[in-house]
A and B are shown apart, each in its own frame.
Chain A
Amino acid sequence: MNAVPEGGADVARAPRRRPRLRLINATVSRGGALFLGTLPFAAVAVAYLFASAQRLAVNPSDKLLPSPAQMWSAFLDLATVPDKRSGDLILWADTFASLVRLFAGVSVATLAALCLGVAIGFIPRVRAFLLPFVTVVCVIPPLALLPILFIALGLGETAKITLIALGVAPVMVRDIANRVMELPSELVAKAQTLGGNSWTMVLRLVLPQVTPRLITCVRLALGPAWLFLIAAEAIASTEGLGYRIFLVRRYLSMDVILPYVAWITLLAVITDWLLVRLSHVISPWAHPVQDK
């Protein structure tokens, strides 16, 4: 009994107070994280609704801040009512045209990044040959090339796809090359002691090791890719999400522009999520199950 330290009972009875932790150590519960994460969205929505209601109260035909109902009906029109002139459902025709361009451009860039990046990163001679060139190409602003592309390749799809590919590929090539050069030299040495040659090491060591990084690269490249897509469509196109936004800008049709921006955002978020899933499926080793 004497072994119980004095004041032991007080300690047991003391109210359970949360210890004051430093900001960097105070973690957030799941519910708390959900709440905090929703706040900025809610704040923007409330601010918009308030401002829109105010403007519409003063002038019911105001076009700058349309009400959600107006935007929804405009969006629904574009999605379900065939265009009088072409007979297309405009939203879907635009989405299809834009996604084809986006994915064609990004696919070309990804393929280039993989081939060139692996070659530059793995083979010293190719590195000496191409790395300075790629490094310089990287700093050319792609939008400055747009007129050249339109002049050289015409106003068709080729120029737009080329712009996207040229815009995102150089950075991806450098990133993949860096990742390959960062492969532990121990792994490369070991692969050679097991009989690997340059080609089989690319297949069995380098490609699997850079795949997760490549997918991350594509995710990061999709941002600039959308930028180049919309820029190209704004200048010379007859359909596409970017084209539509810039077309209706002339009529101040914010009821179309805002839903279109939201739609593009949604498409981008879905693509990003799919790529994350893809990485988990292809490279499970790179995503070890986290302990709770």
Chain B
Amino acid sequence: MSRIVVHGLEKSYGDARVLERVNVTAEAGEFLSLVGASGCGKSTFLRILLGQEQQSGGVVVVGDRPIVPQPTTQRGIVFQRYSVFPHLTALQNLLLVEDFRSGGPFGRVFGVRRRNARQEAETMLERVGLAHARDLYPASLSGGMQQRLAIAQTLLGRPQILLLDEPFGALDPGIRVEMHELLTELWTEHGMTVVMVTHDIGEAFKLGTRVLVFDKVRHDRQFPSAYGATITYDLKLDRKNRASPQDVAKVAAMVGTTRPDSAIATTAS
């Protein structure tokens, strides 16, 4: 529930520039969808927000101070893969949140705190529809169930910012729609700021209150990696009237999606 201010952000790997001159301000409670062609740096942008990678220049302010270049409890994350801990059952994955939060020498809470954590974890499992799977290891959960567990786990950490890195990219279309509903509900309940990277233009328009397109504006034919991507299009969506098909088609064209029709259909669903 904090605003994010990114100013003059740059990221290079050696000579290769990935991001340049990225400026964006997100108010608390916004839902930002980041889209762009593969390899345009939108995931890098997300990893910088997470603190997993450090920018080469510029500042990222979350709340009222620049972020430290390491992941903290301020920002939660759901990845596409390896999103939950494979050595813990569904319930243990959720209990781990309180264990980590306590920071004690045993990495585990006991007594009343454990009972409360268990209560909270079971409620959360119920909430995301995984009560029947509480004692299963992630390996025996389907992809959709694993992502639901991952979102539940991240939300238990009560982050101010929720970062999503193509969270539904590996799921079947039907499951994806279910996940969209769940995520929208949870976002409405918790009201945190969300930043989601996605390849699915339809998903970006359906879930986001704002769609940001990453692309390169400058090109060097002799040295393609000389210039990085920046935010080329920033579309705020009205909560009531969602995106028009023209907008979706326009963004789809910018990103280079071959199927604008399906994107428009997803947006409408």
Contact = CB atoms under 8 A, between A and B. Distances in A.
A274 interface: no
Contacts of B75: 193
A204 B96 contact: yes
B81 A199 contact: no
B71 A189 contact: yes
A193 B79 contact: no
Contacts, number: 86
Residue with the greatest number of chain B CB neighbours at <10 A, chosen from A193, A283, A285: A193
Contact of A196 (B87, B100, B140): B100
A193 B76 contact: yes
A73 interface: no
Chain A interface residue count: which class?
20 to 34
A186 B80 CA distance: 9
B83 to A, nearest CB: 7
Contacts of A195: 73, 97, 100-101, 103, 157
B101 A189 contact: no
Given A193-B154, A193-B159, A208-B87, A200 B100 contact: yes
Contacts of B157: 193-195
Nearest to B140: A288
Contacts of B154: 190, 193-194
Nearest to A197: B103
B72 A192 contact: yes
B137 interface: yes
A200 B99 contact: yes
Nearest to B138: A285
A95 to B, nearest CB: 36
Contact of B73 (A185, A187, A194, A203): A194
Given A192-B70, A193-B72, A193-B73, A200 B85 contact: no
Interface in B35-60: 50-52
Interface string B77-114: 10101110111100000001101110111111000000
B153 interface: yes
Contacts of A190: 71, 77, 79, 82-83, 85, 154
A193 B70 CA distance: 9
A209 B106 CA distance: 17
Interface of A is mostly: helix
A186 B71 contact: no
B250 to A, nearest CB: 33
B188 to A, nearest CB: 22
A99 interface: no
B141 to A, nearest CB: 11
Contacts of A184: 81-82
B196 to A, nearest CB: 16
A82 interface: no
Residue with the greatest number of chain B CB neighbours at <10 A, chosen from A203, A209, A284, A288: A203
B236 to A, nearest CB: 28
B253 interface: no
A184 B85 CA distance: 10
Given A184-B82, A189-B52, A194 B96 contact: yes
Interface of B: 50-52, 70-73, 75-77, 79, 81-83, 85-88, 96-97, 99-101, 103-108, 137, 139-140, 153-154, 157, 159
Interface of A: 184-187, 189-197, 199-201, 203-205, 208-209, 283-286, 288
28 contacts: A184-B81, A184-B82, A190-B77, A190-B79, A192-B70, A193-B71, A193-B154, A193-B159, A194-B73, A194-B97, A194-B100, A194-B101, A194-B153, A194-B154, A195-B73, A195-B97, A197-B103, A199-B105, A200-B99, A200-B107, A203-B108, A208-B88, A209-B87, A284-B137, A285-B88, A285-B137, A285-B139, A288-B137
